[in-house]
Amino acid sequence: MRNTIVSLMTAVALTACAGPKEKNVQAPQEDFNYVVDQFADLQILRYQVPGFESLSLKQKQLLYHLSQAALMGRDIFFDQNCRYNLSVRRALETVYKEYKGNREDEQFKALETYLKRVWFSSGIHHHYAEDKFVPGFTPEFFQSCLEQVNVSELPLREGQTLEQFVAEISPVIFDPAVLAKRTVQSGDRDLILASANNYYGGGITQKEVEDYYAAMKVGKDTVTPISYGLNSRLVKENGKIVEKVWKVGGLYSAAIEQIAGELQKAVPFAENDTQKAIIEKLIEYYQTGDLKTFDAYSILWVEDTTSEVDFVNGFIETYGDPLGMKASWESTVNFINKEATKRTKIISDNAQWFEDHSPVDKRFKKEKVKGVSAKVITVSMLGGDCYPATPIGINLPNADWIRRDHGSKSVTIENITEAYDKASQGNGFNEEFIWSDAEREALAKYGFLTDNLHTDLHECLGHGSGKLLPDTESGALKAYDSTLEEARADLFGLYYLADPKLVELGLVPDGEAYKAEYYKYIMNGLMTQLVRIEAGKDVEEAHMRNRQLIARWVYENGKADNVIEYKKRDGKTYVVVNDYAKLRNLFGTLLAEVQRIKSEGDFAAGKKLVEDYGVKVDQTLHDEVLARYAKLNLAPYKGFVNPVMKEVRNDKGEVTDIVLDYTEGYADQMLRYSQDYSFLPSYND
Residue 24 pLDDT more than 60? no
Q: What is the pLDDT of residues 440-474, one digit of tens each?
A: 999 999 998 999 899 889 988 998 899 999 999 88
Q: Band of the pLDDT at 168, cuts 50, 70, 90?
A: very high
475: left (phi over 0), alpha (psi -120 to 50) or beta: left
Q: Band of the pLDDT at 614, cuts 50, 70, 90?
A: very high
**Predicted local distance difference test score (pLDDT) of residue 4:** 65
What average pLDDT does the segment 326-337 reach?
A: 98
Tell me how far apart the alpha carbons of residues 167 and 146 are, in angstroms, rounded to a whole number: 12
Q: Clarify whether residues 593 and 655 are in a common domain.
A: no
Whether residue 574 lies inside any domain: the answer is yes
| Contacts with 409 (C-beta within 8 Å, 6 or more apart), sequence order | 301, 302, 305, 373, 374, 395, 396, 397
Q: Clarify whether residues 564 and 658 are in a common domain.
A: no
Secondary structure, 3-state, 385-449: CCCCCCEEEEEECCCHHHHHHHCEEEEEEHHHHHHHHHHHCCCCHHHHHCCCHHHHHHHHHHHHH
What average pLDDT does the segment 149-158 reach?
A: 96
Q: Clarify whether residues 636 and 655 are in a common domain.
A: no
Q: Clarify whether residues 524 and 671 are in a common domain.
A: no
What average pLDDT does the segment 501-505 reach?
A: 98
Q: Band of the pLDDT at 129, cuts 50, 70, 90?
A: confident
Among 56-70, 284-298, 444-458, the minimum mean pLDDT is found in 444-458
Q: Clarify whether residues 520 and 572 are in a common domain.
A: yes
What average pLDDT does the segment 524-542 reach?
A: 90
Whether residue 88 lies inside any domain: the answer is yes
**Predicted local distance difference test score (pLDDT) of residue 10:** 30
Whether residue 301 lies inside any domain: the answer is no
**Predicted local distance difference test score (pLDDT) of residue 30:** 62
191 by Cβ neighbours in 10 Å (0-12 / 13-18 / 19+) ranks as buried
Q: Clarify whether residues 610 and 658 are in a common domain.
A: no
Whether residue 343 lies inside any domain: the answer is no
**Predicted local distance difference test score (pLDDT) of residue 537:** 87
What average pLDDT does the segment 281-296 reach?
A: 98
Tell me how far apart the alpha carbons of residues 184 and 194 are, in angstroms, rounded to a whole number: 6
Q: Which amino acid is located at 517 in the chain?
A: E
Cβ-contact 346, 507 below 8 angstroms: yes
**Predicted local distance difference test score (pLDDT) of residue 388:** 98
Q: Clarify whether residues 484 and 514 are in a common domain.
A: yes
Residue 481 pLDDT more than 50? yes
Residue 20 pLDDT more than 70? no
How many C-beta neighbours within 10 Å does residue 576 have? 15
Residue 608 pLDDT more than 60? yes
Tell me how far apart the alpha carbons of residues 277 and 293 are, in angstroms, rounded to a whole number: 12
Whole domain around residue 153: which residue ranges? 39-180+646-675
Q: Clarify whether residues 605 and 582 are in a common domain.
A: yes
Q: What is the pLDDT of residues 578-600, one digit of tens each?
A: 999 999 999 999 999 999 999 99
Tell me how far apart the alpha carbons of residues 676 and 445 are, in angstroms, rounded to a whole number: 45
**Predicted local distance difference test score (pLDDT) of residue 21:** 32
**Best mean pLDDT range from 65-69, 237-241, 366-370:** 65-69
Whether residue 272 lies inside any domain: the answer is no
| Contacts with 659 (C-beta within 8 Å, 6 or more apart), sequence order | 25, 26, 645, 646, 648
Whether residue 334 lies inside any domain: the answer is no
For 29, which DSSP code? G
Would you list the DSSP string of 175-240?
A: -TTTT-BS---SSSS-HHHH---SSB-TT--HHHHHHHHHHHHTTS-SSS---TTTTEEEEEETTE
pTM higher than 0.85, yes or no?
A: no
Buried b (16+ CB within 10 A) or exposed e, 490-521: bbbbbbbbbbeebeeeebbeeeebbbbbbbbb
Secondary structure, 3-state, 112-153: HHHHHHHHHHCCCECCCCCEECCCCCCHHHHHHHHHCCCHHH
Q: Band of the pLDDT at 214, cuts 50, 70, 90?
A: very high
Q: How many domains, the chain? A: 2
What average pLDDT does the segment 601-618 reach?
A: 97
Whether residue 224 lies inside any domain: the answer is no
In the chain, the percentage of residues whose pLDDT exceeds 90 is: 85
243 by Cβ neighbours in 10 Å (0-12 / 13-18 / 19+) ranks as middle
Q: Clarify whether residues 612 and 661 are in a common domain.
A: no
Residue 371 pLDDT more than 80? no
Whether residue 440 lies inside any domain: the answer is yes
Cβ-contact 497, 518 below 8 angstroms: yes
324: left (phi over 0), alpha (psi -120 to 50) or beta: left
Q: Clarify whether residues 650 and 558 are in a common domain.
A: no
In the chain, the percentage of residues whose pLDDT exceeds 70 is: 96
**Predicted local distance difference test score (pLDDT) of residue 676:** 98
Among 136-150, 201-215, 488-502, 531-545, the minimum mean pLDDT is found in 531-545
**Predicted local distance difference test score (pLDDT) of residue 109:** 98
Cβ-contact 414, 377 below 8 angstroms: yes
Tell me how far apart the alpha carbons of residues 354 and 662 are, in angstroms, rounded to a whole number: 41
Average pLDDT, the chain: 93
Q: Clarify whether residues 613 and 540 are in a common domain.
A: yes
Q: Clarify whether residues 577 and 660 are in a common domain.
A: no
